[in-house]
Structure 1
Amino acid sequence: MQTRKSVSIIKRKKEKKMKGKKLMAMLMAGSLLLAGLTGCGGANAKGGGAAASADDYPNGPVTIICPWGVGGGADVISRKISEVAKNYFDQPIVVENHTGASGTIGMMDAMDADADGYTMVLANGPLFSLTPKYIDVSYDLSDFTMLRGMRQVSLMILTNPQKSSIKTFDDLINYGKTHKITYATSSGPGGDQYVVSSAMFKSLGIEAEPVVMGSEAESINAVVSGQVDCGLGTPPAYYSHQEEGTIQAVATFYPEAVKTPYGEVKSIKDWGVDVEFAGMDCLAVRSDVPQEIVDKLNAMLDDVYADSKFTGFMDEMGYPLWDAKGDEVTKFIEDQMDSMDKYVEMLK
């Protein structure tokens, strides 16, 4: 994992590189201006310079900023995109991990980058719908153009049938009528798991205490070891434990039932709980990146998403590919913003 210091070094190197690009662009623009003044006039030369800039893209490496650590689902998928894109993109795509502050450091670094299409960022719904309610950020949804969805994630409620009597969601509800439930979550106050699970337990009238872990893997291990009554996790992270019989997915926050290799998992909505959450990851750029460059990035993603090497990888890893276009991704986030407003209000 990179430190803030290492991220700053990367940013300084990138700024130095971008200054070089800016100088080259100025020289090229000057040449075009002279040509235009000699020929058809300054206004036409300016238009020609803008077109040339888009036509020449990409003429250097493109960076994907991942706001989360190395090895997580979003990081792994973005590195596979980088690998497969070599067959369709004229320049390498490099993944950098800018971690910290619940992902907002990476988002703000993306905002600080030039609007030239050489920086993409991985994002998710809560970075817009939830985190800004608890952390001061210098961006909002209008500052980004969503390129493409990447995957959707279903958040599961997990128990260990070997360590407790809780084998179904009904068991969990009944247990909560006479006991204070402890549950493992990888996010604290302000995080998506914390907020939706707190809203669920409050809706059910159950007293519950979150045990905040450092990662999803730690949350799953806390369930397996019997440290907690239940925990939260996403497919396929817990599958190996379910294969062993030490994990059971008893319900999902996804708005409809989810099919897994171990059977169908019902939504908590089936129990009358009006709380839902569908996680997702997507790729975005600054909203002032020229449309011609946005189109080129989307064309590259079209090719990658259609490549059997990529789709086969997603199937093998158990990640459902979410090939949503930009407007659909934006609408998804806007809808989630409304839901999160409701859940946060419930917890006051």
Structure 2
Amino acid sequence: MKLKAIFTATTLAASMFLPMSLLAADDYPNKPIEFIVPWGPGGGSDLLMRIVSKHLEAEFEQAIPVINMPGASGTVGLREASRRANDGYTITQIHEGLLIAHHSGVTELNWDDFDVVSMMTSDNSVIVVNADTGWETLDDMLEDVKASPGEYRMGVTLGGIPHLWAVQFEESTDTQFGYVGYEGTGERLRALAGGHITAAIEDYYSARAFVENGDLNVLAAATNERIEELPDTPTLQELGHDLEFLVTRGIVVPKGTPESIIERLESALANVAVSEGFQTDIENVGGSVRYLNREDYTAYLERNNEIIGNNAHLLD
């Protein structure tokens, strides 16, 4: 009994001198983790991150509720996430839209105001139009738009990824659209299906239900290769336009989160990414699993931050 008491006391005393980061991660997570998704329900970020949340819950055996906080090109939710305690119990999602919003002056926040964990997914983007236009091919659309500059309306997120894509698309195709701003993919797609706008550049899995219902037509894929579900739809590159519109989504945490907790999250997300169930769920909504660990995702963000910074003037 004496030996046991001495061992226990010694262990407790030693633990008092352990770094707080080690103590914090020892039983992490021991309560729900809030997952702030800085976009509204129904769009690509919401759909994909709910899948990430579901599988991370199973990995951690803890609830990970998704909290949608849309607004200002995704920066309202990210601002809130940046102010949360850096204890591992708030995670959030970023994509290239944050880099664009930063360089276009929408927000002072950028990717490096957070601690990077890992990239999880990427999108298959398409050029999609309201079916009532009667356009079946990209050439059909370009002929009419060139004949009436500014008359046809394209839905974008002003100062966000779709805005930059729209400008690049106009430059490559020698066209001019009128822009209508929406906060997220779901809102834009409902407006497009309702005939309030004419065209948009969207991720296919978000648009698929509208396409299958006959509300929208896909004119081209904005990917390097044809989308498996759309084998007869050519890519923009096949049609002579050197364009690829890619959105990747990754997980970050408030700056200063203990290293041991970040490592725990990174390891758990790596397990999620290779699981068959996760890959099936992502594929079922038309997305692609694209996992990068912390080091590689950081390099990706650094590289794309420079590219976007050099092209931000297009949004002026």
The equivalent position to 2:13 in structure 1, one of 3, 26, 35, is 35
Asked which structure has the greater RCO (Cα within 8 Å, sep 6+), the reply is 2
Contact 1:123 1:282 in 2 (8 A): yes
Shift of the 236–45 alpha-carbon distance from structure 1 to 2, 3 Å rule, reads closer
Shift of the 49–156 alpha-carbon distance from structure 1 to 2, 3 Å rule, reads closer
Contact 2:167 2:314 in 1 (8 A): no
The offset of 1:83, in angstroms, is 3.1
Give the equivalent residue in structure 1 for 2:116. Answer: 146
Give me the whole-angstrom Cα distance separating, in 2, the residues matched to 1:76 and 1:324.
20
Give me the whole-angstrom Cα distance separating, in 1, the residues matched to 2:189 and 2:23.
52
Q: Is the aligned partner of 1:211 residue 2:189?
A: no
Give me the whole-angstrom Cα distance separating, in 2, the residues matched to 1:75 and 1:112.
21
Pairwise CA RMSD:
3.1
Q: Is the aligned partner of 1:344 residue 2:315?
A: no
The offset of 1:68, in angstroms, is 1.5
Q: Is the aligned partner of 1:251 residue 2:220?
A: yes
The offset of 1:332, in angstroms, is 3.0
Q: Is the aligned partner of 1:173 residue 2:142?
A: yes
Give me the whole-angstrom Cα distance separating, in 2, the residues matched to 1:320 and 1:59.
31
The offset of 1:193, in angstroms, is 0.8
Give me the whole-angstrom Cα distance separating, in 2, the residues matched to 1:61 and 1:227.
40
SS at 1:102 equivalent: coil
- CA deviations over 1:197-241 (Å, ceiling 9, x no partner): 123213433222123346534544554455544333221232234
The offset of 1:90, in angstroms, is 4.8
Give me the whole-angstrom Cα distance separating, in 2, the residues matched to 1:87 and 1:155.
30
Q: Equivalent residues in 2 for 1:162-241 (5 A)? A: 163-180=132-149, 181-188=151-158, 190-213=159-182, 215-224=184-193, 226-241=195-210
Give me the whole-angstrom Cα distance separating, in 2, the residues matched to 1:175 and 1:193.
21
Q: Is the aligned partner of 1:157 residue 2:127?
A: yes
Q: Is the aligned partner of 1:124 residue 2:124?
A: no
Runs of 5+ in structure 2 lacking a partner?
1-8
Runs of 5+ in structure 1 lacking a partner?
1-30, 37-43
**How high is the sequence identity, in percent, across the aligned residues?**
23
Give me the whole-angstrom Cα distance separating, in 2, the residues matched to 1:48 and 1:229.
57
Give me the whole-angstrom Cα distance separating, in 2, the residues matched to 1:57 and 1:221.
40
Give the equivalent residue in structure 2 for 1:74. Answer: 45
Q: Is the aligned partner of 1:242 residue 2:211?
A: yes
Contact 2:127 2:201 in 1 (8 A): yes
Shift of the 288–205 alpha-carbon distance from structure 1 to 2, 3 Å rule, reads same
Which segment is superposed worse, 112-121 or 322-331? Answer: 322-331
The offset of 1:283, in angstroms, is 0.8
Give the equivalent residue in structure 1 for 2:293. Answer: 325
SS at 1:120 equivalent: strand
SS at 1:289 equivalent: coil
Give me the whole-angstrom Cα distance separating, in 1, the residues matched to 2:190 and 2:84.
38
Counterpart AA for 1:233:
E
Give the equivalent residue in structure 2 for 1:294. Answer: 262
Counterpart AA for 1:35:
A
The offset of 1:246, in angstroms, is 4.3
- How many pairs does the alignment contain? 307
TM-score using structure 1 length: 0.75
Q: Is the aligned partner of 1:88 residue 2:91?
A: no
SS at 1:309 equivalent: helix
Give the equivalent residue in structure 2 for 1:136. Answer: 107
Give me the whole-angstrom Cα distance separating, in 2, the residues matched to 1:135 and 1:32.
54
Give the equivalent residue in structure 2 for 1:63. Answer: 34
Give me the whole-angstrom Cα distance separating, in 2, the residues matched to 1:237 and 1:51.
41
